[in-house]
Amino acid sequence: MSSSPIRLIVGLANPGKEYEGTRHNAGAWFIHDLAQQSGIQMRFETKYHGWHGIINPACHLLIPNTYMNQSGQAVSACIHYLKLAPESILIAHDDIDLPPATIKLKFDGGDGGHNGLKDIIRHLNTKKFHRLRIGVGRPTYETIDYVLNPPSKSDKQKIDDALIRALTVLPLLLEGQISQAMQNLHTMGDV
């Protein structure tokens, strides 16, 4: 487990109005909540291939404006420009292996079939970064169709509640107290 303070939080998404409310954009929902809580405006930065903001002098936010399967382009550009180690980044993403009320922190590991993570691992040439896994539930039909559709109203409420819980451990993440943040988040449980 890395204990580096988190210096970049990336919310994975597909660009465009038609994808805003879809499950695949749950990572971006987290960044929007975080920016709103911090009172900042995200601005488009060409050099990062995405929407960027700073929530304190030491932590950057990014929503790639690339399609999901090209997320690594934006993440790579941002960490190289900012001279950040992969261990200091947190990737917030949708996870079909978790129910909608569940949110988990993880360090290292595979891509779990997630095309955004797959591309980030390929660009960074490492799996050693933090992930905020946002449960969106498992489909009963083809996965791609599922993640590219909006959740039900009740599932969206569960996801929103989980994102609020994730915001409560942010100060610990920014201080590098990753294990404590993980313990706090995971013991809050699902609502």
Confidence band for 177, pLDDT divided at 50, 70 and 90:
very high
One-letter identity of residue 37: Q
Confirm whether 96 is domain-assigned. yes
- 24 belongs to the catalytic site: yes
- Weakest mean pLDDT among 29-33, 132-136, 172-176: 172-176
Phi, psi of 92, rounded to the nearest 5 degrees: -95, 125
Confirm whether 1 is domain-assigned. no
For residue range 28-86, list pLDDT tens digits in order. Answer: 999 999 999 999 999 999 999 999 999 987 899 999 999 999 999 999 999 999 999 99
Q: How many CA atoms lie within 13 A of 145 on its CB side?
A: 4
With 0-12 CB in 10 A as exposed, 13-18 as middle and 19+ as buried, what is 118? middle
CATH number at residue 46: 3.40.50.1470
Mean pLDDT score of the chain: 92
pLDDT at 107 over 60: yes
How many domains are there within the chain? 1
Confirm whether 40 is domain-assigned. yes
High-pLDDT (> 90) share of the chain, %: 83
Confirm whether 175 is domain-assigned. yes
Confidence band for 189, pLDDT divided at 50, 70 and 90:
low
Confirm whether 161 is domain-assigned. yes
Confirm whether 101 is domain-assigned. yes
Question: Domain limits at 69?
Answer: 8-188
Confirm whether 150 is domain-assigned. yes
pLDDT value for 2: 55
| 48 close to 96: Cβ distance less than 8 angstroms | no
Average pLDDT over residues 82-99: 96
Catalytic residue among 24, 32, 60, 130: 24
Give the integer Cα–Cα distance in Å for 14 and 124. 20
Confirm whether 105 is domain-assigned. yes
Average pLDDT over residues 148-159: 93
pLDDT value for 188: 78
Give the integer Cα–Cα distance in Å for 127 and 86. 8
For residue range 117-131, list pLDDT tens digits in order. Answer: 999 999 999 999 999
